[in-house]
Structure 1
Amino acid sequence: MSSIRAVAVAVPRRGDDVLVFEYHDSTKDETFYRPLGGGIDFGETAEAAVRRELREELGVELLDVRLLGVLENLFHAFGRDGHEIVFIFDCRLSDQSVYERDAVGEIRDDAGTKVMWRSLNSFDAGSPLYPAGLVGLLSERRRLPLSRFSSRWSP
């Protein structure tokens, strides 16, 4: 049975760098990068999910969490088709020491999965950042004031 998965990811920034994990899909022989985060549980808001995921994966709390956008991600990875709706959140990390290290460590519940800061300009077809469209979304947000993209609606 196929289904659409709701996902929330955090994109804390360090200048032009974004915090990502590195993973390898052996079925496509592709190394790729993705922001930390994960699935949204039933009854959980996307913001609550991204806060929980970063707590579980890195042991950090998030500050100043703001929705940047939502991307629909249709993909083929690890030998199967996937479909996600991905909520992208700007934020700051409560643990300032994470900003001081280029290689942050490993995801707690996925030993061997490296977490690091990478320049937004370093992603390309040979080392993609997923979900597709994220580089464009983050580049656009870098040029425009964040207040324009507040997740709160006002008349």
Structure 2
Amino acid sequence: MSPPRIRNIAICVFHHQGKILVNAFPDPVKQQTLFRPLGGGIEFGERSADAIVREIREELNLPIRNVRLLGTLESLFTYLGNPGHEAVQVYDAEFIDPEVYEQNGLEGQESNGERFTAVWLDSTRLSHDGVLVPEGLHELLRSLSLLS
């Protein structure tokens, strides 16, 4: 077993008309659903903004533009009963194809081959259906008037 470490990740909210794009992660240990914007690990030698472009291309096969940093969060959490620690660069960006925003869900694929559907959710649905992670993200987006 490898020693615990801090994982550096970048996520992107893609805010649009009061909604953000998220992926659902069920946690049966906590008996709750976690919602997290798309993104992933920052590779050695890679800038976090470039990681967002790469991750979205890998996961959704879609080009993006106007990538901008919103803030940085530190996340200490437990998922599936295991402790985690992440330094999170939070970004916003735009999809080049405007039709992406009209779709209820976007089909994607994780690097391990697992399929997922990312969905557009507003603040009410996020709070009602689960928990937005990482901790502090909802407050950051509210302070920037990207979520109510």
Q: TM-score scaled to structure 2, two decimals?
A: 0.89
Deviation at 1:126, TM superposition (A): 5.5
Alignment of 1:45-56 (within 5 A): 45-56=47-58
Change (3 A) 1:104 1:126: closer
Look up the match of 1:84: 86
- Corresponding residue number in structure 2 for 1:128: 131
Matched, 1:100 2:107: no
How many residues are treated as equivalent by the alignment? 142
User: What are the Cα deviations for residues 106-155 of structure 1, in whole angstroms up to 9, with x where unaligned?
Assistant: x2235342210000232227611100111111111117xxxxxxxxxxxx
Q: Which amino acid aligns with 1:114?
A: T
Counting strand residues as a fraction of each chain, which structure ranks higher? 2
Alpha-carbon distance in structure 1 between the residues aligned to 2:26 and 2:71: 26
1:117 maps onto 2:135 in alignment: no
Q: Give the whole-Å Cα distance in 1 for the aligned partners of 2:121 and 2:102.
A: 13
> TM-score of the superposition, structure 1-length normalised?
0.85
Residues in 2 aligned to 1:135 and 1:17: alpha-carbon distance in whole angstroms: 12
Distance 2:13 2:143 in 1: 14
Native 8 Å contact 1:23 1:113 kept in 2: no
- SS at the partner of 1:132? coil
Q: Residue 75 of structure 1 contacts residue 83 of structure 1 at CA under 8 Å; is this kept in 2? A: yes
Match of 1:20 in 2: 22
Q: CA RMSD in A?
A: 1.5
1:151 maps to none
Unaligned runs of 5+ in 2: none
Give me the whole-angstrom Cα distance separating, in 1, the residues matched to 2:95 and 2:44: 25
Aligned equivalent of 1:137: 140
What letter is aligned with 1:22? Answer: A
Could you tell me which runs of 5 or more consecutive residues in structure 1 were left unpaired when the two chains were aligned: 144-155
Please give the alpha-carbon distance, in whole angstroms, between the structure 2 residues aligned to 1:124 and 1:33: 10
SS of 1:14's equivalent? coil
Amino acid in structure 2 at the alignment position of 1:16: G
3-state secondary structure, aligned to 1:60: coil
